[in-house]
Amino acid sequence: MHNNPFFKSLFLIAVTFVFFSCDKDYSSVGDNLIGENNFDLVKYSSNVLAYNEKITPLQSNNLPVNALGICDNPAFGKTTASFVTQLTLATVAPTFTTITAAPAIDSVHLSVPYFIDASKTTPITTGGNTYVLDSIYGEPKAKIKLSVYESGRYMGNQIGTAQKFYTNQNTEFETHKILYQGNRLNDDVNKSQNDEFFFDPSQHIETTTDAAAKKTNAYIAPEMRLKLNANFFVSKIFNAPASSLATNIDFMGYFKGLYFKVEQSGTDKGSLAMINFAKGKITIYYKEDKKTKEDDPATTTIDETVIERVQKTLVLNMSGNAASLLEETNPNTDYDTSTKNPDRNFGDPKLYLKGGEGSLAVIQLFGSDLYGADGTTGSPNGVSDELDKMRKEGWLINQANLVFNIDTEKMGKLDLTTNKPASEPDRIYLYDYTNNVTIADYYLSLSTTTKKTSKFGYGGFIERDATTEKRGVSYKINITNHIRDLVQNVEATNVKLGVVVTEDINSPDMFELQTTSANITKAPKASVMNPLGTILYGNNLPSTDANYDKRLQLEIHYTKPK
């Protein structure tokens, strides 16, 4: 990234500025230029070429957040997101004590915290809070069928390399799932634990009683909380060979992990949540023998040994390798056709950005190359004539933005019975598509730990209308430094740009496609994480189209020397 021509030119500009700042003649000339108003401030709209590109199955392991559930958007299709993860022992080589009786499990709980909207958390007078979940898409409390199985697919590293997993491997993990006595592990009779699972925003209350019989409540923020089959863990953990629990490497080879399978629950459309499974755990609550008083050897008539049953816990963390498993079904016809048959020569009228195993848009700035360096005469020189003209005239770029207008009609409705708009991505991300790296404006924009405001100057935020629906209207991305470098640096290459939806603007890494092609080899990691999509106006709209003014353009504000 640091070998980008932009950074070379930035260095040369800085050196030149320092050199001439010491030259009194240069200062006086600059004063005269400003005083005599030798510059014109101009706004210019440049046409661009933009087309769709399908994102085929791609790497999806070890994401910071993973989708779980069903997202059914008529503008794109149905996404069913399952998940698989390895487990590790919080304490390796655990020992279990048997004096008069074997350890006995009371219960096994799986817990994974949800994201919450802290701005909407309100206290309850009797204790705790009411919560609103964040990063949940679909109807509130819509149900899905959730089944948790032991995974039979080893996910550890192969010799010399880490295993990669891809979005389309759900069938493989389905094939290798292991049933316990013919059933799943979350086999509780309460259907909200499995067949009618939903993302519950309620807090959990845990009550403990001390030796004086005083009860204390602990209030736990909303989380996935599943009861797992206790007998399975007696067999798998308590009766395991000691060598299988000696280290986590041994353990992950013995207990290969959990597979979370998602299906539709009855006629419910379902909902989908973004979850940080790495914060999840399985807690095994059990009792075992403990000798609390030793026998007094001086007393030979009675055995004074006291053995009590004590409460203990064993924790399994959801760490190690993990993968997001996505099934895309029932695709919208327009979306399917547009992404499979893009017009790479003249551009597409609509751009479909879809996260996960979805699609992105490719953008080529400026026009064709018909002439030489002056942009009007001679033979083609490998540079757009429009860019040649800017360089020749010495344009000083003040601001440059790509403005993407959303096709609100195409976006459709998530549920026609409730007339609620489809969930839209809060942000999009633009990058150097040719080299699969960030552009200068991203690199130079300030990063913060808050992903919703990080890289604020770079932009990409959704702009919503003022109505109660708050439907998205447009996105705008600042590419001032990118354009400035192209104009000022004759060695700079006018690379193609890619634009995708993003779950986290602070995550610019690229993930590999399972099968690459001449047109696409990688896609941004943060796009894999986001299940949503948006439809934007492209460049190829006829002038008679009612939405012609909404077509994609590059807006440039520049200073032109007279």
CA-to-CA distance for 397 and 160, rounded, in angstroms?
A: 49
Quick check: is 479 in a domain?
A: yes
Q: Is 188 in the same domain as 250?
A: yes
Model confidence, pTM:
0.88
Based on the domain organization, do 279 and 337 belong to the same domain?
A: no
CB 425 within 8 A of CB 353: yes
Say whether both 134 and 260 belong to one domain: yes
Residue 267 sits in the same domain as residue 352: no
Same structural domain for residues 338 and 454?
yes
Judgement on whether residues 136 and 220 belong to the same structural domain of the protein: yes
- Give the rounded distance of the alpha carbon of 273 from its chain centre: 11
Indicate if 145 and 207 belong to the same structural domain: yes
Q: How many domains does the chain have?
A: 2
358 lies in some domain: yes
Please indicate, yes or no, if residue 480 is contained in any of the structural domains: yes
* 361 and 412 fall within a common domain: yes
For the record, the structure tokens of 561 come out as 């020397």
State how beta strands 413-415 and 223-227 pair.
unpaired
Per-residue pLDDT of the chain (562 residues; tens, 9 = 90+): 444 544 444 444 443 443 333 433 333 333 444 445 566 789 999 989 999 999 999 999 999 999 999 998 889 999 999 999 999 999 999 999 888 889 999 999 999 999 999 999 999 998 999 999 999 998 888 999 999 999 999 998 765 677 899 999 999 999 999 999 999 999 999 999 999 999 999 999 988 888 788 989 999 999 999 999 999 999 999 999 999 999 999 999 999 999 999 999 999 889 999 999 999 999 999 999 887 677 667 676 676 676 788 999 999 999 989 999 999 999 999 999 999 999 999 999 999 999 999 999 999 999 888 888 887 888 888 899 999 999 999 999 999 999 999 998 888 765 543 457 778 999 999 999 999 999 999 999 999 988 888 999 999 999 998 876 788 999 999 999 999 999 999 999 999 999 999 999 999 999 999 999 999 999 999 999 999 999 999 999 999 999 999 999 999 999 988 7
Q: Are residues 323 and 200 in the same domain?
A: yes
Same domain, 234 and 135: yes
Judge whether 15 lies within some domain: no
How far, rounded to the nearest angstrom, does the alpha carbon of residue 509 sit from its chain's CA centroid? 11
Answer yes or no: do 456 and 543 share one domain: yes
* Residue 420, in any domain of the structure: yes
Tell me whether residue 559 is in a domain.
no
| Residue 5: inside a domain | no
Using CA atoms, how far residue 198 sits from 272, 318, 352, 376, 537, in Å, is 9, 21, 29, 64, 36
Q: Do 145 and 192 have their domain in common?
A: yes
- Asked if residue 28 is part of any domain, the answer here is no
H/E segment holding residue 484: helix 480-488
Range of the domain at 503: 47-56+331-374+400-549
